[in-house]
A and B are shown apart, each in its own frame.
Chain A
């Protein structure tokens, strides 16, 4: 549904986006991760037609964003960063305006606007001016604007930024509800959000894609993937040495209360090796668990190289 092909963008001497390509199918929810200034927003702004690329192109449901810009934009819903909404309008007037631009008139327009206010739970503030709304409502008004025409492709730049935990849950649920029928991109800093809603992830750093895959695949690339946490009833003298000499172990970190975390050289074998060693030395195991790895760790490992502020 969405094909991004070798997208590039430079602002003067600064390369904000370098050679970004990916494909999105119906049902995909792509989490777009990266530090501030990595080029997430710029990429989204190019796909949505707000900025022109310096090179490369993107195709939205078959329409080229350069040559068929307006047709491509019809296929898209977009929630920009900070959820901009016309401050001086009421919610109702604002959504009427968007509906009119999206080509709905008369009863159809009324029906669409009413339905979207119901879905986004902004009905109570329909007659309020946007500048009197709380951040959570404003975010949802802008969200309503993005999905009013039920677009096949939805792009959201930090959709839960600045919301409280309850509001975040509402927005995530709305994204999940739509996931089956659309192709969705969300950019975010909140890695738990990726776990909650995304089935694909791209990490970009300094304008480049540095990793992509399912959230589970990216977790496997974290140093803690396959690490074993072991809790014993007591700490025998040789335990550190016994663990460190395992061929599949890389490093052992002791903690309080007879606990140890063993980081793997070979995540597949480590658990079994630890179990065998425990049996051989007759340790009494109170608990043992294997870590699946943390997205945070992958993120840090891939993006913490040099200055990303540009």
Chain B
């Protein structure tokens, strides 16, 4: 393993451990699972639909993440800045990039654990009927990528402030914008008065069309590239924010 990887791996482990060494992780996992189940079974009328499909299950993920991903990401940098450990971390022989990658992957892995714990919903569906496996795989890939995007945004806002509440709220606002940007009612509204390039620009920022296409079981490289480029962009911005804080 190269030194960069070792450093990122050490930070990854530390970060993941710190989720589980406090009650945060357990509260988070329980809330996530309760919300996922409640929205799928009760609000989504899972049984009444009399159809073994998981559209309603995946439909709610962008909204559950909207609340929970910023909560999982808000402490990543804010807490370090508040408690002074940021000074410790950045005087160790690690680069900013190694720290960003380690922290981001730890948070993403944590949300992936949450996602994996929804397996009983899938098992139930297979027990009840014969769902389309392609749709389920696509849905999970989409949800996984969505979690990464949300966390990359939440981590960026966390780097901007030592106040976790501010980080949380700003992340929600940015994510809400990205969430709604590609939604037909929003673009439909813009079409009437905004120039075409703006409408297209706003629509291109949004990740809902990509998520929806994955949800339909269409695993298209373009969707994955889009998600990856949003994450890389956010992590890069994260680096710039941290460097700027160092030199100002």
Contact = CB atoms under 8 A, between A and B. Distances in A.
Contact of B18 (A70, A80, A89): A89
A129 B88 contact: no
A52 B87 CA distance: 13
B93 interface: yes
A128 interface: no
B85 A52 contact: no
Interface in A137-188: 142, 145
A70 B95 contact: yes
B248 A88 contact: no
Interface in B49-98: 83-85, 87-88, 90-95
Interface string A70-99: 110110101011101111110001000110
A62 interface: no
A48 B84 contact: no
B65 to A, nearest CB: 24
B93 A88 contact: no
Contact of A89 (B6, B7, B21, B95): B21
Nearest to B248: A11
Contacts of A129: 21
B18 A97 contact: no
A40 to B, nearest CB: 14
Nearest to B245: A51
Contacts of B3: 103
A73 B6 contact: no
Given A80-B84, A84-B87, A86-B85, A73 B17 contact: no
Given A11-B248, A52-B247, A98 B87 contact: no
B130 interface: no
Contacts of B11: 101
A87 B83 contact: yes
B74 to A, nearest CB: 15
A93 B88 contact: no
Interface in B4-50: 6-7, 10-11, 13-14, 17-18, 21-22
A45 interface: yes
Contact of A51 (B7, B94, B246): B246
A52 B14 contact: no
Contacts of A50: 87, 90-91, 246
Contacts of B88: 78, 80, 84-85, 142, 145
Contact of B14 (A71, A73, A80, A97): A97
A49 interface: yes
A266 interface: no
A49 B10 contact: no
A147 B72 CA distance: 33
A102 interface: yes
B246 A85 contact: no
Contacts of B83: 84, 86-87
B153 to A, nearest CB: 24
Given A52-B246, A89-B18, A93-B17, A100 B92 contact: no
Nearest to A84: B84
B246 A48 contact: no
Nearest to B18: A88
Interface in A169-209: none
Contacts of A74: 93
Given A101-B7, A103-B3, A73 B91 contact: yes
A129 B21 CA distance: 9
A142 B92 CA distance: 13
A89 B10 CA distance: 14
A71 B14 CA distance: 23
B21 A80 contact: no
B100 to A, nearest CB: 15
A142 B247 CA distance: 25
Contacts of A11: 248
Contacts of A97: 10, 13-14
Given A84-B83, A100-B10, A103-B6, 20 more contacts: A48-B91, A49-B90, A50-B91, A71-B93, A74-B93, A76-B91, A84-B87, A85-B85, A85-B88, A86-B14, A88-B18, A89-B17, A89-B21, A93-B14, A93-B17, A97-B10, A97-B13, A101-B94, A129-B21, A145-B88
13 contacts: A48-B91, A50-B90, A52-B247, A70-B94, A70-B95, A74-B93, A78-B91, A84-B83, A85-B85, A86-B85, A88-B18, A89-B17, A89-B21
Closest 10 CB pairs between A and B?
A: A84-B84, A52-B247, A100-B10, A48-B91, A73-B93, A74-B93, A80-B87, A84-B85, A78-B91, A70-B93
